[in-house]
Structure 1
Amino acid sequence: MIFHLGQIVEHVRFGYRGVVYQCDTEFSLTDEWYDEMAKSKPPKHKPWYGVLVHGSTSATYVAQRHLMLSRNKNKIEHPDIVYYFDEFDGFEYRPRQLN
């Protein structure tokens, strides 16, 4: 896997920024979701990531090949950040520790 929880990434095609909140070693949603949403048919056997999208309430599920590290390291504005992360160190977010 190239990315890890808390990293700020950017979608290579659509340009939106976000923070990785979920890492899957391979595609983990339904075949129906894949057929409907994954128009470019990225490989299912490679990593996929959940991303909280900056400036919205949306989250996306994205194949690794569609993401890159963002050069813009400004904080991500998303209402669900507090559920997944404790703090921002200026480069990435620190995942919350489960008690």
Structure 2
Amino acid sequence: MEKHSAKTVTARYAIGELVRHRMYPFRGVIFDVDPEFANTEEWYESIPEELRPRKDQPFYHLFAENADTEYVAYVSEQNLLPDESGEPVRHPQVPEVFDWLSDDRRYAIRAGLEH
């Protein structure tokens, strides 16, 4: 019988946290976390090889925005930093999932949507 070692992965960032990309000019709020890469191989291969992140780390789903538009992004932990702006994200789906706590300058999952 083959033994499997269980590797526990702890995500650095939490759902509702504001983050920004380390290299590209966008920021967002996390709405889901994968403990390791869980997107398509096609998506992964579309990233230039010299910028391709490791697959064995948490990946985050973001309601993201840049200066021009809002979109959903999928980003590796190694490419995220905390967003210190304290400003809410303008993505149109954010109010469906989160409440903005202006006193705390952070998001909380809306009542009834928690797991």
Figure out how many residues of one structure are paired with residues of the other and give that number. 97
Residue of structure 2 in register with 1:94 after alignment: 108
TM superposition score normalised by structure 1: 0.88
Greater Rg by CA? 2
Secondary structure of the 2:70 match is coil
The question of 1:41 aligning with 2:52 is answered yes
Q: Distance in 1 between matches of 2:43 and 2:65?
A: 23
Which runs of 5 or more residues in structure 2 are unaligned?
1-10
The question of 1:2 aligning with 2:12 is answered yes
Q: Distance in 1 between matches of 2:39 and 2:64?
A: 19
Which runs of 5 or more residues in structure 1 are unaligned?
none
Moved over 2 A (4+): 54-57, 96-99
Q: CA RMSD in A?
A: 1.6
The percent identity for this pair of structures is: 27
The question of 1:29 aligning with 2:39 is answered yes
